[in-house]
């Protein structure tokens, strides 16, 4: 961490190159791992890493070199999500920097704190279309929380320190630093302190840090809660970012309020808790979506009413008053008008409300009974008599083995939704997925970053054949560094979610989504990259034993399971549809026993 105002840095006043200053600040900020790929414009900094590790006397910085820079960005994100610390990627100029655009935008969309340091051509060559030059500042400004182009070498040290501060503070996000090669080579005096004077940001941040739920706000909130007969907590990734999982659980249990979570909010509430209704939204559980339709007070904490949740906004929680807690004031009222709100940290807000409500008694027994019946009547299910292996049964069996204690990452597609629906998560920071951007190829590199951030934990990448192809080269990274990630590939020989949409909305014209003619042998590829455990399962009777062996293997392990191409994800709220039009498919009961029904009028039952 940065040194306090009254503590002089032990190396203050020493002469260093800009590259050496960056590595010193990185160390001060608590970085123990750099994910990155070298190149000409960043070579001075890579040399500084080498020298640091040669001279550091027991405090080396772990350097992980991926197959490409996109992998580095996603590894940094996986590390950040598991540890709660800022992840760091270090890449070169031009294509090295542009290869990180996707993970930067992904981190911005899911509020993940990473810093990406890019080499840049020398200042005298900037703007001349020099070799491996790209306009990083212009490109990244549209994607990141903040971007710095270091033009003044005297500001380099403070810039790096400020980047980490911005990435982790307020609503977390990615910060990019573009550092010309001559700035890295410049020799100057290390000060050991100081930030770039971004007065407006610091003022807003100070306001957020001081923001607490007032007595008047608390009174109004509990008036709404006491008047409500059917309250529901709608919980997003902001709860996990603020480390408010304990407070959220205490709040739900104290006031006996059931909980639905967004895709990125999974793990905030123990999914095995009776109060947890799991994920809501486009592919949320039927009972979660029915509960949203039935509730009369929706309490949103750290969630933003995105399109995969709110769908048709004026029909989302149409019968409910809305209370909204979020650290980003721009999210308040952006999609849904609210009846009560608080802008501030979720952990602090829930703590304040728990204190203010310690003498408040609520009785939601009838609502909880109703919700329990929803869970029983509309439980997740699938074709258990199918000839082919179903992806859901693979994950159910995996869940029996892991018992909700594994760290799970995913690619993007059907396997992602099946994992969200059928796996348990007992703690926050154990579910890592690309939520808002939906980036295929996220699963494997993020699993590597997660495993490095949580050594000794079981980390499993649940992936699809289409998604894993995007960053398949990172299999070698697992074996090169001995990272014991477990890769579970659900291979349906196609882009499953696209196939599902083409089946429903495009007359089963599978344009570009059929991978049955592809020649990739994933097991052979894993073996070629050094995986000692690499197996394929094609028969149901082999599944259980293979999964147990896969999970228990000590090193990196790869297990491919061939699954039914036409096992679709249900429930499904189609484009332009409300929850009342939710399609539950042939194996999940809807309210009328058919495919959909408008929300029941239950107001007289409570």
Helix (H, G, I), strand (E, B) or coil at 562: strand
Q: Taking the chain, what is the end-to-end CA distance rounded to the nearest angstrom?
A: 52
Which candidate in 131, 369, 506, 520 is catalytic? 131
- CA Rg value for the chain: 25
- Identified catalytic residue from 69, 153, 331, 474: 69
Cα angle 415, 448, 39 (rounded to 5 degrees) comes to 120
Helix (H) or strand (E) run with residue 367 in it: helix 365-377
CA gap 176, 139 in Å, rounded: 11
Sole residue written with tokens 């579970």: 488
> Is residue 132 flagged as an active site residue?
yes
Catalytic annotation present for 131:
yes
**Which tokens sit at 126?**
């900037």
Residues 6+ apart with CB under 8 A from 408: 419, 423, 425, 430, 431, 432, 459, 460, 461, 462
In angstroms, the CA 284 to CA 294 distance is 15
Please check whether residue 12 is in contact with residue 193, taking contact to mean a CB–CB distance below 8 angstroms.
yes
What whole-number distance in Å separates Cα of residue 176 and Cα of residue 160?
10
Q: Is 221 a catalytic residue?
A: no
| Calpha distance 469→193 (Å, rounded) | 44
Cα(205)–Cα(199) distance, rounded to whole angstroms?
A: 10
Task: Give the DSSP letter of residue 529.
Answer: T
Instruction: Characterize the bridge pairing of strands 62-64 and 33-36.
Output: parallel
Decide if 75 is catalytic: no
Q: Where are the alpha helices (DSSP H) in 262-382?
A: 286-294, 307-310, 346-356, 365-377
Q: Which of 497, 515, 558, 560 is catalytic?
A: 497
Looking up tokens 């599944």, which residue turns up? 543
Structure tokens at 259: 């909980």
DSSP sequence for 472-520: GGGHHHHHHTT---EEEEEE-SB-HHHHHHHHHHSTT--TTTB-TT---
Angstrom distance (rounded) from CA 441 to CA 36: 17
In the beta sheet, which residues pair with residue 174?
Answer: none
Which residue among 132, 217, 256, 577 is the active-site one?
A: 132
Tokens 């403070």 found at: 158
Beta bridge partners of 464: 490
Closest to 477 measured CA to CA, from 521, 454, 444? 444
Residue 181 annotated in active site: yes
Catalytic residue among 85, 145, 181, 347: 181
Catalytic residues: 69, 131-132, 181, 497
């Amino acid at each position: 961490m940065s040194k306090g105002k009254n503590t002089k840095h032990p190396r203050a006043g020493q002469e260093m190159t800009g590259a050496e200053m960056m590595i010193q600040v990185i160390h001060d900020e608590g970085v123990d791992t750099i994910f990155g790929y070298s190149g000409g414009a960043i070579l001075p900094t890579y040399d500084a890493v080498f020298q640091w590790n040669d001279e550091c006397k027991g405090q080396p910085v772990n350097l992980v070199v991926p197959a490409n820079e996109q992998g580095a960005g996603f590894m940094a994100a996986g590390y950040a999500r598991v540890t709660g610390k800022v992840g760091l990627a270090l890449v070169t100029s031009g294509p090295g920097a542009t290869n990180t655009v996707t993970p930067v935008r992904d981190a911005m969309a899911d509020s993940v704190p990473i810093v990406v340091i890019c080499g840049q051509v020398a200042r005298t060559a900037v703007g001349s279309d020099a070799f491996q030059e790209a306009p990083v500042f212009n490109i990244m400004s549209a994607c990141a929380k903040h971007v710095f182009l270091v033009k003044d070498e005297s500001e380099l040290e403070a810039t790096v320190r400020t980047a980490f501060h911005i990435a982790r503070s307020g609503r977390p996000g990615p910060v990019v630093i573009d550092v010309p090669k001559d700035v890295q080579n410049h020799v100057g005096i290390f000060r050991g302190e100081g930030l770039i004077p971004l007065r407006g940001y610091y003022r807003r941040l100070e306001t957020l840090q001081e923001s607490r739920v007032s007595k008047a706000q608390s009174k109004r909130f509990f008036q709404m809660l006491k008047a409500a007969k059917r309250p529901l907590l709608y919980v997003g990734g902001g709860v996990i970012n603020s480390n408010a999982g304990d407070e959220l659980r205490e709040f739900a249990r104290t006031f006996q309020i059931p909980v639905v979570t967004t895709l990125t909010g999974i793990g905030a509430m123990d999914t095995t808790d009776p109060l947890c209704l799991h994920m809501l939204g486009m592919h949320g559980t039927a009972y979660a979506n029915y509960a949203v339709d039935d509730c009369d007070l929706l309490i949103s904490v750290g969630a933003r009413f995105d399109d995969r949740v709110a769908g048709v906004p004026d029909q989302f929680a149409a019968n409910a008053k809305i209370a909204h807690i979020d650290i980003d004031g721009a999210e308040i009222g952006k999609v849904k008008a609210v009846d009560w709100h608080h802008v501030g940290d979720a952990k602090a807000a829930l703590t304040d409300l728990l204190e203010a409500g310690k003498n408040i008694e609520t009785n939601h027994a009838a609502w909880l009974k109703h919700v329990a019946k929803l869970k029983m009547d509309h439980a997740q299910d699938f074709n258990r008599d199918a000839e082919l292996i179903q992806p859901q049964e693979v994950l159910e069996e995996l869940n029996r083995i892991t018992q909700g204690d594994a760290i799970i990452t995913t690619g993007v597609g059907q396997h992602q939704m099946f994992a969200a629906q059928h796996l348990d998560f007992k703690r926050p920071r154990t579910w890592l997925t690309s939520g808002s951007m939906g980036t295929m190829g996220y699963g494997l590199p993020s699993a590597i970053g997660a495993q490095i951030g949580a050594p000794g934990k079981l980390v499993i990448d649940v992936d699809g054949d289409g998604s894993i192809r995007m960053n398949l080269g990172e299999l070698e990274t697992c074996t090169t560094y001995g990272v014991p990630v477990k890769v579970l590939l659900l291979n349906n020989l196609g882009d499953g979610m696209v196939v599902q949409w083409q089946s429903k909305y495009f007359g089963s014209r599978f344009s570009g989504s059929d991978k049955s003619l592809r020649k990739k042998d994933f097991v052979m590829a894993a073996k070629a990259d050094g995986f000692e455990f690499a197996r394929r399962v094609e028969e149901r009777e082999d599944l259980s034993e293979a999964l147990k062996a896969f999970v228990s293997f000590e090193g990196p392990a790869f297990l491919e399971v061939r699954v039914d191409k036409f096992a679709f994800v249900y429930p499904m709220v189609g484009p332009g549809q409300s929850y009342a039009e939710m399609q539950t498919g042939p194996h999940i009961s809807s309210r009328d026993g058919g495919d959909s029904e408008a929300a029941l009028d239950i107001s007289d039952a409570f």
